[in-house]
Amino acid sequence: MPEQSYDYDVLVIGAGPGGYVAAIRAAQLGLRTACAEIRETLGGTCLNVGCIPSKALLHGSEFFEEAHDGSLGKFGVKLGSVELDLTALQAEKAKAVKELTGGIEFLFKKNKVTWLKGQANFTAPHSVEVGGQVVTARDIVIATGSSVTPLPGVEVDNAKGVIVDSTGALALGKVPERMVVIGGGVIGLELGSVWRRLGAKVTVIEFLDQLLLGMDGEVRKEAAKIFKKQGLELRLSTKVTAAKVAKGKATLTLEPSAGGASETLEADCVLVSIGRRPNTEGLNLAAIGLETNARGQIETDHEFRTRAEGVWAIGDVIPGPMLAHKAEDEGIAVAENIAGQTGIVNEAVIPSVVYTMPEIAGVGLTEEQAREKGEVKVGKFPMAANSRAKTNREPDGFVKVIADAKTDRVLGVWAIAAVAGTMIAEAAMAMEFGATSEDIAYTCHAHPTHSEAIKEAAMAVTGKPIHM
């Protein structure tokens, strides 16, 4: 087909952080761009039922806990009786989601991206049907994201609100008395923390012997200690084998992961958060001769090209961490590659953050991964020795800098701290520029800030921290 006879230069399927960013950058680069989205609003999982609503509830529930448990009293904030208005909190969350999804609509208009409403499926190479209309494009980007992995025997029904996934757990109309979270990963710990702060008794059931699969070992252990201290009950090395719902309550059957005697546990609400899987069903990939890998993901090369001519893929639907900022960076890179430029994402430097209190963040290799590759030096600094954290009464956690023993190049940075998510940006920037631990140690950090703990941990790599 001659170039000009395509309806669009670029068609992006999915308007999550991967897709909407790809569409905007493609339009900025002068390409005639459309973006198909099945949801009523733009922004994908992240803005509608992920990053944004979860952070609204995390933020609000932190305020509630601090006001309710009297911990503000020592700072001179004396409150009378404190009560929760869950309807107001949910409304504030909905307002943030509306503002942010509306913001993407505005950006689409501003950049002249056409929003095609409906489910998209391939009909032939360069050709896609969206909401009953067939559109053609020279380049097509699959950015369809991911959905909750189901757990056989534990059926999610968000409408009933007894066994829910993350979308249901973000929308509960009342605080459950007893909540069970299946999966001690990011979603389970963030949303488990929300409902615990709001008054639920929360038990986290994790199949493995540690929480937070994929994070640094020491961070995983310390995080478990902190969560226990906060009142989350942790049942590690345990699996759920069945669930029954009757009279608004669930009865779960549990047994040790390695097998053994089973027991039952009752809950008013069960959150299933055992991971997410890529969305490819309904795309009719067969029409373009594209297959998924064993994990259901679409494989791409480093430029985000799939094996099908003119078809690219980014975000949660391809291998790699399922994170909004990874999807966004891939969105920019893929659009630049389509436009003939060089779009790159450095897979080695993608930070990840768990937005609990304290936050848990990391970038680069874990200490275990780094030691497997060669000799390393590790510097650690406790938040209890950081003046700002101490003053704010946020003593939990530490920062850890892992550097190559020979070259001193920073290989990974991990932090548990009240603002670890903000602090980790500095570490990512340093690693992107190939910094050594000495570079960080000799960079002037403002005082008093939590970030000084990164400088001190870097100084500790050579055994010379000042405040420890």
Catalytic residues: 447
Q: Record the tokens describing residue 370, joined without a space.
A: 């780094």
Binding mask 209-228 for ligand NAI (x = CB under 6 A): ----x---------------
What's the chain's Rg over C-alpha atoms?
Answer: 24
Question: In this chain, which of 208, 287, 385, 425 binds ligand NAI, going by CB under 6 A?
Answer: 208
> Is the CB of 354 or the CB of 460 nearer to ligand NAI?
354
- Beta carbon of residue 209, minimum distance to ligand NAI (angstroms, whole number): 10
CA distance linking residue 143 with residue 14, whole number of Å: 5
Question: In this chain, which of 119, 158, 230, 422 binds ligand FAD, going by CB under 6 A?
Answer: 119
* DSSP element (H, E) containing 445: none
Binding mask 260-279 for ligand FAD (x = CB under 6 A): -------------------x
Q: Record the tokens describing residue 33, joined without a space.
A: 């761009």
Place of tokens 């009142």: 231
Beta-carbon count within 10 A of 307 CB: 13
Burial class of residue 53, CB neighbours in 10 A (0-12, 13-18, 19+): buried
> Is the CB of 312 or the CB of 355 nearer to ligand NAI?
355
Partner whose footprint covers residue 46, from ligand FAD, ligand NAI, none (CB < 5 to 8 Å by kind): ligand FAD
Q: Does 276 bind ligand NAI (CB under 6 A)?
A: yes
Q: Does 39 bind ligand FAD (CB under 6 A)?
A: yes
CA distance linking residue 421 with residue 393, whole number of Å: 18
Polymer length of the chain: 468
Distance of alpha carbon 457 from its chain centroid, rounded?
26
Residues 342-361 that bind ligand FAD (CB under 6 A): 355
Please report the beta strands in 383-443, taking only residues with DSSP state E, as ranges in sequence order.
398-404, 410-417
- Beta carbon of residue 28, minimum distance to ligand NAI (angstroms, whole number): 26
Partner whose footprint covers residue 240, from ligand FAD, ligand NAI, none (CB < 5 to 8 Å by kind): ligand NAI
State how beta strands 276-278 and 269-272 pair. unpaired
Q: Does 145 bind ligand FAD (CB under 6 A)?
A: yes
CA distance linking residue 273 with residue 277, whole number of Å: 11
Identify whether the C-beta of residue 168 lies closer than 8 Å to the C-beta of residue 158.
yes
> Is the CB of 205 or the CB of 313 nearer to ligand FAD?
313
Q: Record the tokens describing residue 448, joined without a space.
A: 């008093």
Sheet with 352-354, strands from edge to edge, namely 352-354, 359-364, 410-417, 398-404, 376-382
Binding mask 2-31 for ligand FAD (x = CB under 6 A): -----------xxxxxxx------------
Q: Does 250 bind ligand NAI (CB under 6 A)?
A: no
- Beta carbon of residue 55, minimum distance to ligand NAI (angstroms, whole number): 9
Residues that bind ligand NAI (CB under 6 A): 151, 182-188, 190, 205-208, 213, 239-240, 273-276, 321-323, 352-355
Residues that bind ligand FAD (CB under 6 A): 13-19, 36-39, 44-46, 50-51, 54, 119-120, 143-146, 166, 187, 279, 282-283, 315-316, 322-325, 327, 355
